[in-house]
Amino acid sequence: MTSEAPTSPLAIVAEDEPLVRMVVASFLEDAGYEVVETSSAEEALQVLAREDGADLLVSDVEMGGVSGFTLSQIARERDPDIAIVLVSGRQAPSENELPPGARFLQKPFTPDQLLSEVGAATAAC
């Protein structure tokens, strides 16, 4: 009789700044997530299309091309159970830009602040 090992929750990090992406991925890996890093919303959408049930999306708001707001709306339409945290150092969301239950975090942030928002977004799903 064989049993499958439990899998880690899957997080997609969409961030166009490589250093920020690497740091966020490291925070999430330390918290037990398997992380797929993407440098654009378009790339994140490709990952969402091929992965079966990502648990978390952490995305910058301002990236070239598709915005993090649009990415979060599409991700939520595809998977109503995905937890979403959007981050930005410049642009805070206006009314109706975040999907229900999604969280917003202003840059710069600490690992504890990120993980707190991830926990709140996960609980809302």
All domains of the chain in start order, with CATH: 10-124 (3.40.50.2300)
What is the Cα–Cα distance from 17 to 9, expressed in whole angstroms? Answer: 24
What band does 124 get if pLDDT is binned at 50, 70 and 90? confident
pLDDT of 76-114, one tens digit each? 999 999 999 999 998 788 878 899 999 999 999 999 999
| For residue 108, cis peptide bond before it (omega within 30 degrees of 0) | yes
pLDDT of 36-59, one tens digit each? 999 999 999 999 998 778 999 999
What is the Cα–Cα distance from 77 to 59, expressed in whole angstroms? Answer: 16
Task: Specify the pLDDT at position 37.
Answer: 98
The two structure tokens encoding residue 44? 């994140």
